[in-house]
Amino acid sequence: GDSGSPLVCDGFPTGIIIRGSDDRFEPVVAINVFRV
């Protein structure tokens, strides 16, 4: 949940996003962000 890095969705329906900079996993509900 640390701000600063773009949210990247791994593409799984679980809604888990990967912080590209922090390299941490944060569970998110109803949010789908894909790497462009």
Task: Look at residue 27 in the predicted model and tell me its pLDDT.
Answer: 53
The reported pLDDT for the residue numbered 22 is 52
User: What was the pLDDT predicted at 29?
Assistant: 44
Question: H/E/C letters for each residue in the chain?
Answer: CCCCCCEEECCCCCCEEEECCCCCEEECCCCCCECC
Q: What is the pLDDT along the chain (36 residues), one digit of tens a residue?
A: 444 455 555 554 445 555 554 555 555 544 555 554
Both tokens of 34, joined, read 């894909």
Which sequence spans correspond to the domains of the chain? 1-36
Q: Return left, alpha or beta for 11; rule: phi > 0 is left, psi -120 to 50 is alpha, else beta.
A: left
Report the pLDDT value the prediction gives residue 10, as an integer from 0 to 100: 53
